[in-house]
Every structure is written in C-alpha cells, then in structure tokens.
Structure 1
Amino acid sequence: MCVRNTWRGEKFGQMDFGLYQKIIDETQGSLRRLALYGFGEPLTHPRFPDMVRYAREASDSTYILTVTNGTLMTREMTEKVFGAGIDEIAFSIDAPELGLLSKIRVGTATYDVLGNLTSAAKIKDDYDVRLGITVVLMKWNYKLLPDIARKAGELGLDFLAVSHLVPYTEAMMKETVYTTASRQAVEFYEKHAGDLEELAKEAIYDVMLQHYTLTSSGKKQLYLQLVDKLGSSGYSLNVDISRDAVQRKELLSEVEMYIEKAASIAKEYGLEVKLPNVYADANKRSCPYIDLNYAMILWNGDVVPCMDLAYTHPLYTNLHPKTIKKLVFGNVEKQSLSDVWSSSSFKWFRETRKNLSKNVPWCGDCQFATRDCWYIRVNEYDCYGNEVGCNECIYSAGLAHCLI
C-alpha cells in the first residue's frame, strides 16, 4: 500500500545533516512552520533529534512537527525528540487496537505502537508538545473512526486528523469511501438520471439530423436546457462518476454518519479534529501548500511544490489511471532556497493556484474525464492551458489531507 512501492528509478536516501543546516540557516527568521517528514519513517534518520534541536535553537518561533508510524517512538526516543524542542507529533494509526492495525500496516505487530503512543501521551504536557493521531479512511476501517476518536480522547491527545486514501493502484481505488463528483452534480444526476441519459442519446441523433437534413427534433435543445440548470449554479456533470456515486450512495451516507459520530466524540473530549469531505466541491477547492506558502525539500535537496508532485507515481482517480510526474523547481545544494522560491517558474505556479477553483478545472464533474481525454493521462497540462495539471488533485478538494 506504500506509494514508494510504485516508484520506478528513484533513489532512496537520507538528508545530509550539513545540507539540513544550510536550509535552516538560510531560512532563519522567516521560517514559520517546519514539517520534518516525507514518504518514509522520519525516525529512521540517525540524527532526527539533532535536526529538531538545530531548528529549535535557530528560532523559538518556528513551529516544528512530524508524523511517525510510531514503531521507533520508544520512551527513550520520545524523551529525546520532546526534549529537542518539537512542537507537534502525530502517530499514524488507522485502528484503535493492535490486531486490526497490523492487518493494514505490515510489521506493526512487532512493535508496541499503541504502547508507545500511550507512553508519549503521559509525558507530552511536561514538554508542552501537541500529540495526536492521523488516520487514513478506507472501507475496512471507517466504522472504527468513532472508536479511534474515543481512544484519542481517553489518552488525552490534542488532535485527530483524518484523510481519505490516495489510491496508487486499482485495488486501492476499490477501497476508497469518497467520490470526486460534486454533491450538486450527484444530486442533479439522481433527480434527472432517466431523462438525462435518454435525452443525451437523442440529442446526439438530433445533431446528426441537423447536419444532414437541416431539421431538428428539438431533443438537443431540451438536453441543453436540462444541463443548463446545473451549469447555472456553476457545476457540470460527468454521468459515469455521478452514477457511480449514486450506486454507492448508501456507503457514502454511512461514511458521513461515522465521520459525524467521530466529530461528536472528539467534541466531548475537547479534541481538535480535521475531517475530510466525502463529496468533492468543484467550486470550493484550494491548495493547502499555496494557502500556507509551503514548499517541500527532498532528501537530495530537490525543491518541489507539494508531496503529490515530489515523485513520479501512478494515481487511480475518476474511474481511470494516470501518471503523476515529479515537478522540481530547483535544488538547495546548488542554489539558495530564496532563489528557488522566487524563480519565475515557481512564482507563476503558485500564482495560478491562488484561486484554484477559478484557475484550474475539476475533472470529477467533467464529461470528458471518463472518455480518455488527453489531459487526464499525465499531469503535464490541463485544459485551461496550465502547465502541470492539478485538475484531479484530491488534496485540493478536501478529500485527502497532508499534515503541514
């Protein structure tokens, strides 16, 4: 299930401490948040506590956080990391007990992950550290979410962050419990499904009739009038994706119910929550990295705009596969981070995504998304002409979350 298993030709490594020091030194006084993690377990880095300490000594105001699978977060390691000055740690835990957790996170049974979390929870207040849980929601565990929220509350944790699954394989796509269609499009399809599909066929015949005989049955006009009802509210319709959502309506409704239950339990315990949408909304999209002025630096110094564009990988979304290509704007071994950040290409990339819903199309409601449109095969462009397409990014729709 790990995305690293889908990478081809990528080198693995750990950031050199000297390079890390260079980054921290260059950003001293301007670095508001520092997330020390990526696609791997951060605590495998032999100098992770030193990295936290170096950043903390450079600035008291930088907020430092990490996400861990908890396997290496022993009491000794916890005290080292807490003592180094970290502000926030999230444990990736998708089930409230070890037996279930080990089924999805291979190797968990070997380590006392929940014991490590419990131990960390007991001393977090001594170090003024925020401690929480991140959960990836899937078919097998969405009903466990209220229990996970209660577990977090009982342990006295500070937050619970939930994300839907980002599917890198077809099998993973079948485990998802959300839809990329806007709720408005799904409701429109559900109301007009019979008329819509029949009219669509008749409208095609009507177009041909007009072309060859210069006469019309009027079906094309009726179809356009019907679709315009949705278009007037700012939405469009992909029949296949909306039909799929209607067929899974009971599941999606149940997922929403369990998310609401988890939110209610979290409120009882004063637990801060970040919960995902179950339906997309084409008109309410934003990039979390753009919103927070974030960039990601890989172990080798490559500067990328976000985690999704950090490595070339497959993605299964909108009922089709595609390739997400890596996007690099520079390298901080050879350049300063300031120079990379202010480069014309990176500035333009960020600028076009500040008003994402207006500047970037949304394929989840587009009729061509399931018709082998050339803009969906690879993320090189979108149909608005943007170089590097974010038109199928489920992070922007609030379906998946990064902890940043």
Structure 2
Amino acid sequence: RCLFITQSREAFEISKPYLDRGWEFIHSAVVQSLIEIYQGKQIGDTWEEYKRLREKALEQGCSINLPALLNYRERLKDILKLEKQFEEIKRLAFEYGVSLHIPEIFANSRKRSCEYIEKDISFVKANGEVAPCMLYAYEHEEYLNFHSKRIEKVSYGNLREKSLAEIRKNEEYVRFREIRKNFDNIPWCGECVYSSLDCWYVNSNEVDCYGNSPTCNECLFSVGISKCIL
C-alpha cells in the first residue's frame, strides 16, 4: 500500500475542498466547458470553479492532477496519519541527537534533485557496465501513479573496453548529466492529468513530452519519496 502522493502539499491543500465531490466534479466541469465552447452557453458553475482552482494553483506555483488525487482518496486518512507519525519520529530523533532521513510523503517538483548528478557519481555494475544511476542499471517494472512503468536499462559504456573517464566524456552521457543539473528541463508527470489517463509517455523511461531520452519524469528518488543509497 503506497502511502505517498506524487503532488505537492500545496496542490493537495488547494484541491481538498473538491475531493469529496468526486468524479462528478470533473465530469460536470468537462461537460460545461464543452457546451460553453461549442454552444456559447453557460449552464452551471462547476467549470468556473475548476478554472478558479487551476488559477489558485498557478498563483502558488504548482500544478494539480485532480484525477490522481481522487484515486488517493481512500488512502488519505492513512497518509495524513503517517505524516503525523513522521513528525513525532523527527522530534524524538532531534531530542536524542539521532541523524535521521525520513522519506517525503508529498512530491515537490520544484525541489527535485539527483544525488548522482550533484555528487558527480556513476553506477558501475559487476559486469563493467556504467549506468547513470542504480535505478537505470537494470531492466525492471515499476508501479506508481496508478500505472505500470517499464524501466529500460541505460548504459553508456563498459570498463572492460574503456576507462571511466572516457565513458563519462561520452556525448550522450554528458548531455544526460547537463540536463539534470536543472530539473525544470524534465517534466514531472505526478502532477499532470494525462499521466492518470493512459498517457504513453509514462509507459517507460524511454522518452518524455519534452523530448528527453531517457527520461526521469517519474523518479521517486528525485523528490525524496524514495531515498537514494548515496
């Protein structure tokens, strides 16, 4: 059971008053918007409410994936309970002088970072292959944001054939690192409505809607929900 939300705390707080209205809120907003566009008529207030919701989010510098938040509704009580428990654990750790690194519960896309990039580290496998990080060292399947994601391995060379210094000068590897020095270059799918609606860009790590290949558009390590080994 996943007790985290791949959107910011601000997005959650802004959306909270609408969550009890469920999918009917979204359905009504969509219907009203289409009628307004194609017939020039305003038949209700839901579409205007939805636009105000989006405007409020933009004012606070965040985006809202309302379909995903609605999917989280059954877990919200446990998620907020866990958040309180984490606060108590942090208080006790501080009181007893214990160094503690607790995972995030909410994902703030504006604070994304990568330990491998910041510390200028590569991941070397037992067979000599050089990967940009542990996550991309092996092919595997993930499940997040209510969908499966196929992770293809990413390798930029092998130490049996070239030195690490040579491999790190690989043009594609250099570009990979440069892009991730500023995560504004990479979309965050957790707060995009299309990621909850079968968008093909979330099926694998091969490419994203910004054209990055490979991509880190749903990396839980970058937002601190998963903790890196470094």
Same fold (TM over 0.5): yes
Letter in 2 for 1:330: G
Kept after mapping to 2: 8 A contact 1:186/1:246: no
Shift of the 228–255 alpha-carbon distance from structure 1 to 2, 3 Å rule, reads same
What does residue 250 of structure 1 align with? Answer: 77
Aligned with residue 236 of structure 1, among 63, 68, 73: 63
> When the two structures are superposed, what TM-score results if normalisation uses the length of structure 1?
0.53
Corresponding position: 1:225 with 2:34: no
- 1:379 equivalenced with 2:205 (yes/no): yes
1:78-136 alpha-carbon deviations (Å, 9 max, x no partner): xxxxxxxxxxxxxxxxxxxxxxxxxxxxxxxxxxxxxxxxxxxxxxxxxxxxxxxxxxx
1:208 aligned counterpart, secondary structure: helix
Q: Which structure exhibits the higher relative contact order, with contacts defined as CA atoms closer than 8 Å and separated by 6 or more residues?
A: 2
Does structure 1 residue 270 correspond to structure 2 residue 97? Answer: yes
Counterpart selection for 1:216 from 29, 32, 41: 41
Residue 363 of structure 1 is aligned with which of 189, 202, 207?
189
Cα distance per residue 1:246-280 (max 9 Å; x no partner): 43222122222322333233334322111111111
SS in 1 for 2:201: coil
In structure 2, C-alpha distance between the alignment counterparts of 1:265 and 1:225, rounded to whole Å: 41
Q: Which runs of 5+ in 2 are unaligned?
A: none
**Equivalent pair of 1:185/1:242 in contact (CA under 8 Å):** no
2:208 & 2:34 partners in 1: Cα distance?
30
Q: Work out the CA distance in 1 between the residues paired with 2:186 and 2:74.
A: 28
2:151 to 308, 324, 329: 324
Q: Deviations over 1:179-200 (max 9, x none)?
A: 2222112112212335785553
Tell me if the contact between 1:289 and 1:305 (Cα under 8 Å) persists in the aligned partners: yes
- Assess if the C-alpha contact under 8 Å between 2:18 and 2:25 holds in 1: no
Q: Indicate the residue corresponding to 1:190 in structure 2.
A: 16
**Residue 315 of structure 1: SS of its match in structure 2?**
strand
1:291 Cα deviation after fit = 1.3
TM-superposed CA distance for 1:371, in Å, is: 0.5
Deviations 1:43-73 (A, max 9, x none): xxxxxxxxxxxxxxxxxxxxxxxxxxxxxxx
Return the alpha-carbon distance in structure 1 between the equivalents of residues 27 and 181 of structure 2: 39
Coordinate RMSD, CA, aligned: 2.1
Distance 1:177 1:195, change over 3 A: closer
Do the aligned partners of 1:252 and 1:278 also contact (CA within 8 Å) in 2?
A: yes
**How far apart, in 1, do the equivalents of 2:27 and 2:180 lie?**
37
Change (3 A) 1:198 1:325: same
Quick one: which amino acid aligns to residue 218 of structure 2?
A: E
Q: Which structure has the bigger radius of gyration? A: 1
TM-score, normalized by length of structure 2?
Answer: 0.90
Report if the CA contact (8 A) 1:189-1:243 is conserved.
no
After alignment, is 387-396 or 240-249 more displaced?
A: 240-249
Question: Following the alignment from structure 2 to structure 1, what is the Cα–Cα distance between the partners of residues 26 and 54?
Answer: 10
Aligned to 2:221: 395
Distance 1:254 1:177 in 2: 10
